Structure 1
Amino acid sequence: MFHSALKVLPFLIPLSLSAQSLDEPVSFEKDQIPPNYFTKGGSLSLTKDHIQDGSQALRWDFTEGATLTLNTGALGNINVYTGYGNYSRSALTLPVYLPETGQGKLLVEIRAGEETAGLIEVPFSHAGWQKLVYHYSWHSKIQWTKPKLRDKLDNIRITAKDVEKPGYAIFDKIIYNKPLDFRAGRNAITEIWLPEKHDFSGAAQPNAQDLLKLDQLSKELLPAPNPKVSRQQWEQIIARYQKTIQDKKWQMGNPIDQGLANYFGFLNSIANDWCRCADPEMKAKLAKTFHTTHDWLQEQGLVVNGACGKANNYVGRLYVDAATKMRDALKEHGNVDITLNYLKWAYHYDDQVFGENHHESMDYFHNEALRLLRIANMHADPVERYHHVETFRDVLGKQLQTSIKPDGSIFHHGFHYFAYGSMGMNSVSGTLALMSQAGFAVAEEGLDMAKLAVMKMRWYSGSTTLWSLSGRNPAGTQRVPVGAFLNLAKAYAPYREGKWDSELTAAYLRFQPDQAEKPEFQGYQAETSPNGFDTMPYAALGMHRRQDWLAGVKGYSKYAASGESYANANRHGYYLSMGQLELLTHPDKLPTVLGSGTRPNEGYDWCAIEGATTFHSPLDKIANGNGTRMPRSQETFVGGLSHDQRNGVFVLTQNSAASGLVMRDRAKDSPKPEPFKALKSWFFFDNRIICLGSNISTKHVRYPARTNLFQKFLTDEFSTTIVNGEKFTLADSVIAKDYTEEITTLTDPYGNSYITSKEDQVHLRIGKQSSRDGSDKKDTKGNYATAWIEHGIDPQDAGYQYAVLVQPKEGETEAFAKSLPYKVLKKDAEAHIVLDKTSKSIGHVIFNTSADLTQIKTPLVSTSIPALVMTENTEKELIVSFTNPDARTDASEPLPTTITLKGEHLCDQLPEGVSTELKDGNTLITASFLHSEPVTIHFTKPLPLVEATEIEESHTTSTVNYFIIPGEYVAMVGGGIALLLIGVMAVGKRSKR
């Protein structure tokens, strides 16, 4: 009855516990039963028939009531917290092999002496290896009967209960107490798993043309046969595969001793060659070679509920590819259903394809969508296969619509995460293209959402994306998934009369201009670089573009995390996207992060993030610990306004835990630091950015607060910093300059200028810096020019004001500093308001609806809720844009917002959903915002002539002269004067009220 039994010991007296550590596997490699194991009513032996580790395992033959006791000795601390995020907790690992399903169970008792502290039941519901992993604490599935005994555990007793006939179980690779990720927990199998049976009788049945589409789909999914490969070549290829199997013992009678991905890559390589092989005899030999390793893996537990678990996501991708390519060979071999069932189980196929809920997941698009399509296409019966593919096609379109946000944000880990999103869009675009080519195009609404996501990528990217969007991968090298543009363009062909989508193709050609001459691109032209101002409310992101450069400002809020960091990934990136103003300007056509002067892994000071207001502390004060850090605040007044798609405003209500972070090592009896707060705003007009900060406050923090202007890496090409006309380059010693009394003009080494106010203390440092790389694995060094505005230790209601000129022309910086063609009209806790004289625009950030605007000389009277407003006067119209920057990502109903303008204004055509009301000589404009959508209204009626008696300021441009008067605007066109009283629309003169 016993197979390969080396020793049979009906009863063993327990001896001293083996010296083997409790956190190492017990693998039964010695030719004797462990002296601390004994049985009553059964027998023990060593077997080579079924193993998980080494060359043999422990077999226990039992009858009803038999017991097996594992005298482990004291298990020690079973409440260890360790590993990434402290997610690893002490656990028992107990792989068990049962030869068949049936009546009965194994009762596993975790004991302290003769007392039972906890129970685990293992019913005979699974045939083969299953790997039990039970954590002793935190998410523990052990039935604790006497939890107070948990610190005294020293043995495990297993009892055969309710069995009808003699049976056996095999144990191997037991680990008594080792910290494992709590997500690795595996409970005993309690019921046999079978895939759902789907009734397609009510669905339209496929015709001959539909079944031909299935053949085309298989061609798209499988490598094409290559008859040019000779038989001799195939024999050599097969011989190499067989040698690998022999040398690595990847066949029956051996344990799995490597990560599953290694075996899956091997199987996929064979599957690819099986598809390519056009020689029937060689094809059969390739299939046999595949089955040798595949059958062994299934015996080891690569089956439903098996010891290998669910090989899905990143690990299982190549296995799905391999198994589905071998569909016909597996069918002939007799295990296609076993394999298909495993894939469905591992990938939650029935839930994902036939379920109702389709949630956001970039991993779904990157790892799972194509694999689910392959699983659908693996069904052996063509009619059943057609229905599965059709169902998946419908679901994929819905998944695209529900996963991608209305502004094009691509969420992962709960916030806009480019690294995952770019992989997801890159992968799914290929899937969408091949489905369209096979005649299974997803709904156009789904394609439109994918298009929105990738087209927004080109707004926040040059050749690389904004560094502030790097998540936990802050190397500054993340690139736009250029291939996604072309694949998506191809996916639209069924909806474009067989042609590719012209906008996506144009975007692709801008990134790949060398492709334009290829025949397939005839009739398509590369787009020009996007220009204007755009926002992504879900991402708390504003993007301002002119020519080929990009200025991006990134905030964080209740909805948008500032990033993600681990102990070994982005450990010091705490301030990333906390008000970061980032300029991508070089190389010219497709700028990059590194090329524009940010070098995260070359001496970068992680406390000097450009545009952010931070504490200047040692790196260890902002370093992440062992868990996942994704900083958010509870603030919702964060976001941007696009004004007529040209200029814009962005606001960040900063409420940071940085004060507690940098002071976490303070004495217990010392005062608790107050939150680090600030009101920050940015006003974008052409290449001019006006940056304001107010109410910068904290308390009980020993490190100075600063607002960082720039931190630029010095190279031979980009080496000179200019301050007030004086040039500075790298010297033998550090250059440190302070500018505290006058307006300061700085031009960074990459050609961007910064003009500060005379109230701000500006500091410049040029020299070598030492730091740590983004993964905190090595020390780094680099030469930098760094400038900042100092706020000092524990500032109270501090502020700043500076302008940025992006890539100004020669002489432009000096002229700007001399004339200062902007004016800060208000900068306090109520509002930030800026007039840009050149564009005759005023940007308003209204923090408090009670703000008194009567003395500000702007068209705006009030707002019903905190809002962003921009007004612009042209010769013929007043243009007004506004929004509620609260993204309200969980809201389903729009929120009405009303702004009031001075005077009575008329508009020929209001945007949809916008209404106006003339009241008490003013104009009330109401719009409803769901997710911070901007509204722009063009008041096209000419403004009336009035008399002006007092001119406060003047500014002249080449085309329009205009003056600012208290309460009035005056425009001088040509040689005549037209006085514009804001909001009054009657023609002719009108006296002041």
Structure 2
Amino acid sequence: MKIFSFENEIPPQFSCDHSSHLSLSDQQYKYGTHSLQWEYTSNSYLEVNEPIFYRPFQEGSISQERDSFVVWIYNPEPLEDVLTFQFGRNKEVDCQFVFHLNFRGWRTAWVAYERDMQGDPHPEMDTLIILAPRRIGMGKLYINQLMLNTPIDPRFHTRDKQVPFVNLEADKNANAHWLSLYAFAELEHRNSVPEVGASEQQGTHGMINERFEKLILQDRFVALEDIKRIREIFSTFGISRNGDVISGRPIDLPFFDHFPKSDKERLKKLANSIQLSSYTDFMLEIALHYRSAGRSSWKQELQVIFIDLLDHLDEQGWAYGSSQGTVHHFGYNFRHYYPAVFLMRAELEQAGRLERTQKTMYWFSGAGRIHSPLEDIEGNIDIFNTTLHGILASLLIMYDTLTKVRELSSFREWLSQSLIPAPGLRSAYKSDGSAYHHVNHYPAYAIGGFLGVTPVIYLISGTVYRIDERAHASIRKALLAMRLYANKYEWLLSLSARHPTGKGALEVEPYKYMALSGTPDGSKPVDEEVAAAYLRLLPHKEESEAAEQFLTMRIAPEADPDGHWTMNFAALAIHRRDSWLAGARGHSRYLWANETYVSANLYGRYISHGHLQIMSQGEPINHTDSGYHHDGWDWNRWPGTTTVHKPIADLRSNVRNVDTFSGFEEMLLSDETYAGGLNLEGRNGMFAMKLHEHPKYEGSHRARKSVFFFDNRIICLGSDIENTNLVYPTETTLFQNHLADLGSPIWVNDNNSICEFPYAYERVLDEPIWLLDHLENGYYIPEGQMLSLSKSVQHSKHQATDADTQGSFATAILGHGCAPKQGSYEYTILVKTNRANIEAFCKNMRSLESAAYRVLRKDHSAHIVKDHVNQTTAYALFEANADVRTGWVLAVDTPAMIMIREAGDELIVSAVDPDLRLYDGKESDQYDEAGNQVEVSVYSRKWIHAESMPSTIRIVLKGSWIMKGDFLGCRLAENRDDHTTVIEIVCKDAMPREFVLQMEI
């Protein structure tokens, strides 16, 4: 794999015709300090004689990388012409491509041989011929870092004005929001110019500009030490001018995907480049210092430095029409460029750079996407997080013309469409408040999206460009949902995806900007509910201008959330009382079980296998004080899960690159559709799932699991636990709690405290017992189950690095043995309780008259529980069943969840079909010839953007009932002579339906 950098000599493999000339030059360079200068005429060619070692892609390879050609070209003047690159054997051309020269400065091309070039590449190719432009008499080009062949991830090649034919499929793939800059720039404007008066537009634009500046600017005192530090940093960039030519160190993205892995470190050192993020961070620092320097003599120096930085960036190819080979994940590295140039817009206009800079902003932010057809628009958290401010800034620095009004109007429409609840698994927000990224609810990305989008909503609020009401309500719901599944700041571990560190936390600022954006209907300038949430979440003793404003308006901090919420686009049930949070989560054939990368969440296979977590300890409440500790954590034992307990080496994920839609990642799907939750009256609720592990690891492992939430009681049931693993035991974890104090007691029956360490206990229970852990959670465990209780030092592995870890934990599990058949369990948790209460609860459970609840059914077809305190019966109906005949429900024709509360002569009923119903039947390509499910990339599934299909649940109830009012999606279908009632409920998006029935007189 030969790489030509032209540092010391012209390689002997390079030659040219007699009408052109090759030499080394230090006038322009991209890597090292020299490049190859080619002085050509219209019939010139440059020839490279070297085996290319091209190899066709082999299906089934571990990696999806494709052999590609890479080159950097410096063009002193834009030309309406092309270079032609021809690859072949001696003089025979096998494949070729053209490179447009309509630019000045450095540009690159990454071109895959198989996919992107014309012709058929051949493994024996040994010649590259570069044909000079034909329409000009003579000229000069500089060539650097020419790679005849290097493997590149096929998702990353990015087309631009130089190579518009590259990777056309990228516009349809999951990373299109990064890579479709060319397509965005080519979109026709969707809107005609609206009629807006000049004075109105100037006033509106001025107000938005003023808000934007206040958002960016930070008060600072500029001292001589600051200027000295700026001079020192700037000097390291090596920027210098020679006439109208500027040069300096290269500016690169940090990924270097085109470098061969074996030679990457050497080439990065040779490049001596500045990371783009560091460069643009410095630009923003200069702009902020310039705007804070008052009338000081340093302002002129800072302005000159800023213009030099801007010009060098442009010369390096960070300019309109250029994609630098790839711009994947580009937004994170360029985000500070936009506010920097926005703050310097007056100075850029004075220096004659404003129009060029606006085009660059528009291009790299992908602002052209605002003209996408409405039906094609999909919200994207990456864009909200990294480039949304850039899109808006690129429009605001335009001159106040009707074209600017049209652009901002299109921006409003595009942003509104991006925020409304999206169909299927499309991003970014769902009707239940889920925030989507990587085809699932993903708080770690959602918080970045909130940080980016809520200030923009505020900036344009109260103007003709404000987002529409539905969009406002959607983002508001998603933001308020985050403070439900987070307590107080950290969200549930089951929602941590590939980051099981326990550190994922919400940010308070989005609540401020959402509150200041007013109500969704625009009737009030401050949203008092969101403001109250902001005041509760604001850290103790932290002050803010917004908090002072809200308190002056007599808005009080909200109380801690109290109730039950269902988020079935996340297969999540949320239950809160007082200050504690309990959450249960599952997965299905639509929602992946885990997200694992080659260096992240290597042992997280079971993280959503019915994970039930309680967050109740700490000030504020947090994972560490509530029992989670990364070091020493047994990754087999997430609380609430039923798993095959594997040795740590066997539990490690085997991460693969399964297709061109994905990278090296694991996002396993089940083949079951039944997973999710239900709430009743916003107070109590349930969760249930059919667990079937993916055959990649343990395809025989199945269980039917349910969790019922009533006040501070959590009733956990399992049935039909089975697998064929004869080597390792199957178990259900009650708790795994870190012991910061080894003497922390566990209480077991009759007030016997266990303080010793280590400790081990295991037996089949011949009577019901109770436990109380050191975190104030009590456990009632009926007889007949194998209970293991331990306090020990555990040895594990770091989830990302594989390093050895250890920690001290108390653990309780229910054992099901090896290769269980028809295994089951039952236990109940009392949250934030004490010895007296859990002991009394256990005693009361001995009698039907005093028992808090009763399990009416626990089998293959149904888990049914009646909570006597709330007079509520909850049904996890795993199968359609014409003979349920338990409690109020006689039959159901669809797998469903139902909750019914008795209230005198009324029944309050809630029901849901938890199947998201994004497709029918089985996908043939998810199964091999033997019918076994195979690993596929979720990004490759055609149904991820499909609309959820409606379904109808037909429930037969005991008694004669009538509907007490009109209820969405619910109707009385039939009152039968045998004193039974048929109710039909239309479900969509797995959203619960609730209604009230009154006894018919």
- Please indicate the TM-score interval, normalised by the length of the shorter structure: 0.7 to 0.9
Is 1:458 the equivalent of 2:488?
no
Pairwise mapping of residues 462-501 of structure 1 onto structure 2 (< 5 A)?
462-463=487-488, 464-492=490-518, 499-501=525-527
Equivalent residue number for residue 777 of structure 2 = 752
Moved more, 893-902 or 564-573: 893-902
Is 1:652 the equivalent of 2:671?
no
Q: What CA distance in whole angstroms lies between the structure 2 residues aligned with 1:293 and 1:729?
A: 66
Equivalent residue number for residue 320 of structure 1 = 338
Superimposed CA distance per residue, residues 336-386 of structure 1 (whole angstroms, 9 cap, x where no aligned partner): 222222222222211235543320311122112222111111213455434
Equivalent residue number for residue 576 of structure 1 = 607
Moved more, 251-260 or 529-538: 251-260
Q: Which residue of 94, 113, 117 maps to 1:142?
A: 117
1:248 counterpart SS class: coil
Equivalent residue number for residue 957 of structure 2 = 901
Pairwise mapping of residues 13-24 of structure 1 onto structure 2 (< 5 A)?
22=1
Shift of 1:647: 1.5
In the superposition, relative to structure 1, how do residues 448 and 291 fare at CA in structure 2: closer, same or farther (>3 Å)? same
Quick one: which amino acid aligns to residue 866 of structure 1?
P
Equivalent residue number for residue 589 of structure 2 = 558
Give the TM-score taking structure 1 as reference length: 0.84
Q: What CA distance in whole angstroms lies between the structure 2 residues aligned with 1:907 and 1:647?
A: 22
Q: Which residue of 697, 712, 715 maps to 1:661?
A: 697
1:808 counterpart SS class: coil
In the superposition, relative to structure 1, how do residues 440 and 275 fare at CA in structure 2: closer, same or farther (>3 Å)? farther
Q: What RMSD over aligned residues (CA atoms) do the two structures have, in Å?
A: 3.1
Moved more, 534-543 or 402-411: 402-411
Moved more, 888-897 or 801-810: 888-897
Is 1:537 the equivalent of 2:568?
yes
Q: What CA distance in whole angstroms lies between the structure 2 residues aligned with 1:57 and 1:224?
A: 43
Shift of 1:258: 1.7
Q: What CA distance in whole angstroms lies between the structure 1 residues aligned with 2:96 and 2:26?
A: 29
Q: Which residue of 175, 195, 210 maps to 1:219?
A: 210
Equivalent residue number for residue 787 of structure 2 = 762
Shift of 1:507: 1.4
Q: What CA distance in whole angstroms lies between the structure 1 residues aligned with 2:710 and 2:133?
A: 79
Q: Is the 8 A contact 1:377 1:388 kept in 2?
A: no
Pairwise mapping of residues 235-274 of structure 1 onto structure 2 (< 5 A)?
237-238=226-227, 240-251=229-240, 252-256=246-250, 257-274=273-290
Is 1:596 the equivalent of 2:587?
no
In the superposition, relative to structure 1, how do residues 226 and 649 fare at CA in structure 2: closer, same or farther (>3 Å)? closer
2:274 counterpart SS class: coil
Is 1:609 the equivalent of 2:667?
no
Shift of 1:474: 1.0
Q: What CA distance in whole angstroms lies between the structure 1 residues aligned with 2:696 and 2:949?
A: 37
Q: What CA distance in whole angstroms lies between the structure 2 residues aligned with 1:227 and 1:89?
A: 46
Quick one: which amino acid aligns to residue 591 of structure 1?
I
Quick one: which amino acid aligns to residue 568 of structure 2?
P
In the superposition, relative to structure 1, how do residues 389 and 649 fare at CA in structure 2: closer, same or farther (>3 Å)? same
Q: Is the 8 A contact 2:66 2:112 kept in 1?
A: yes
Q: Which residue of 991, 994, 999 maps to 1:933?
A: 991
Superimposed CA distance per residue, residues 555-600 of structure 1 (whole angstroms, 9 cap, x where no aligned partner): 1112222331111111111111221011111127x4222221011x
2:697 counterpart SS class: helix
In the superposition, relative to structure 1, how do residues 887 and 454 fare at CA in structure 2: closer, same or farther (>3 Å)? same
Moved more, 269-278 or 417-426: 269-278
2:461 counterpart SS class: helix
The gaps in structure 1 that reach 5 residues or longer are: 1-21, 663-673, 942-984, 987-993
Q: What CA distance in whole angstroms lies between the structure 2 residues aligned with 1:305 and 1:935?
A: 51
Superimposed CA distance per residue, residues 576-632 of structure 1 (whole angstroms, 9 cap, x where no aligned partner): 1221011111127x4222221011x22100001110111100222232234211222
Pairwise mapping of residues 75-224 of structure 1 onto structure 2 (< 5 A)?
75=53, 86=63, 88-102=65-79, 104-113=81-90, 115-136=92-113, 140-145=115-120, 147=121, 149-150=122-123, 152-160=124-132, 162-186=134-158, 189=162, 202-222=193-213
Q: Which residue of 316, 339, 362 maps to 1:300?
A: 316
Equivalent residue number for residue 880 of structure 1 = 909
Q: What CA distance in whole angstroms lies between the structure 2 residues aligned with 1:496 and 1:161?
A: 58
In the superposition, relative to structure 1, how do residues 926 and 494 fare at CA in structure 2: closer, same or farther (>3 Å)? closer
Shift of 1:71: 2.9
Q: Is the 8 A contact 2:190 2:410 kept in 1?
A: no
Equivalent residue number for residue 511 of structure 1 = 537
Superimposed CA distance per residue, residues 874-928 of structure 1 (whole angstroms, 9 cap, x where no aligned partner): 3453322222122335445532222111111234324234222311321111221
What fraction of aligned residue pairs are identical, expressed as a percent? 27
1:55 counterpart SS class: coil
Quick one: which amino acid aligns to residue 864 of structure 1?
D
In the superposition, relative to structure 1, how do residues 480 and 610 fare at CA in structure 2: closer, same or farther (>3 Å)? same
Quick one: which amino acid aligns to residue 236 of structure 2?
D
2:155 counterpart SS class: helix
Equivalent residue number for residue 8 of structure 1 = none
Equivalent residue number for residue 823 of structure 2 = 798
Q: Is the 8 A contact 1:95 1:307 kept in 2?
A: no
2:961 counterpart SS class: coil
In the superposition, relative to structure 1, how do residues 78 and 720 fare at CA in structure 2: closer, same or farther (>3 Å)? farther
Pairwise mapping of residues 672-751 of structure 1 onto structure 2 (< 5 A)?
674-700=699-725, 702-716=727-741, 719-725=744-750, 727=752, 729=754, 731=756, 733-751=758-776
Moved more, 868-877 or 443-452: 868-877
Shift of 1:695: 1.3
Equivalent residue number for residue 804 of structure 2 = 779
2:233 counterpart SS class: helix
Q: Is the 8 A contact 1:101 1:126 kept in 2?
A: yes
In the superposition, relative to structure 1, how do residues 309 and 212 fare at CA in structure 2: closer, same or farther (>3 Å)? farther
Equivalent residue number for residue 10 of structure 1 = none
Superimposed CA distance per residue, residues 793-815 of structure 1 (whole angstroms, 9 cap, x where no aligned partner): 22222211222221224422122
How many residue pairs get aligned? The number is 896
1:458 counterpart SS class: helix
Q: What CA distance in whole angstroms lies between the structure 2 residues aligned with 1:926 and 1:606?
A: 43
Give the TM-score taking structure 2 as reference length: 0.84
Moved more, 184-193 or 479-488: 184-193
Superimposed CA distance per residue, residues 433-467 of structure 1 (whole angstroms, 9 cap, x where no aligned partner): 23337775322322211110011112212121111
Q: What CA distance in whole angstroms lies between the structure 2 residues aligned with 1:53 and 1:629?
A: 36
2:484 counterpart SS class: coil
Q: Is the 8 A contact 2:717 2:827 kept in 1?
A: yes
Q: Is the 8 A contact 1:551 1:581 kept in 2?
A: yes
Pairwise mapping of residues 853-892 of structure 1 onto structure 2 (< 5 A)?
853-854=884-885, 856=886, 858-888=887-917, 890-891=946-947
In the superposition, relative to structure 1, how do residues 436 and 164 fare at CA in structure 2: closer, same or farther (>3 Å)? closer
Quick one: which amino acid aligns to residue 651 of structure 1?
A
Q: What CA distance in whole angstroms lies between the structure 2 residues aligned with 1:205 and 1:459?
A: 42
1:173 counterpart SS class: strand
Moved more, 412-421 or 44-53: 44-53
Q: What CA distance in whole angstroms lies between the structure 1 residues aligned with 2:609 and 2:239?
A: 51
Pairwise mapping of residues 890-969 of structure 1 onto structure 2 (< 5 A)?
890-891=946-947, 894-916=950-972, 917-920=974-977, 921-941=979-999
Superimposed CA distance per residue, residues 251-304 of structure 1 (whole angstroms, 9 cap, x where no aligned partner): 433230122112111111112223334328654432221111211221121222
Q: Is the 8 A contact 1:225 1:276 kept in 2?
A: no
Shift of 1:536: 0.5
Q: What CA distance in whole angstroms lies between the structure 2 residues aligned with 1:342 and 1:227?
A: 25
Is 1:337 the equivalent of 2:312?
no
Rg bigger for which structure? 1
**Which protein has greater RCO, CA pairs closer than 8 Å, 6+ apart?**
2
Q: What CA distance in whole angstroms lies between the structure 1 residues aligned with 2:653 and 2:370?
A: 35
Q: What CA distance in whole angstroms lies between the structure 1 residues aligned with 2:341 and 2:60?
A: 37
Q: Is the 8 A contact 1:635 1:655 kept in 2?
A: yes
Is 1:624 the equivalent of 2:624?
no
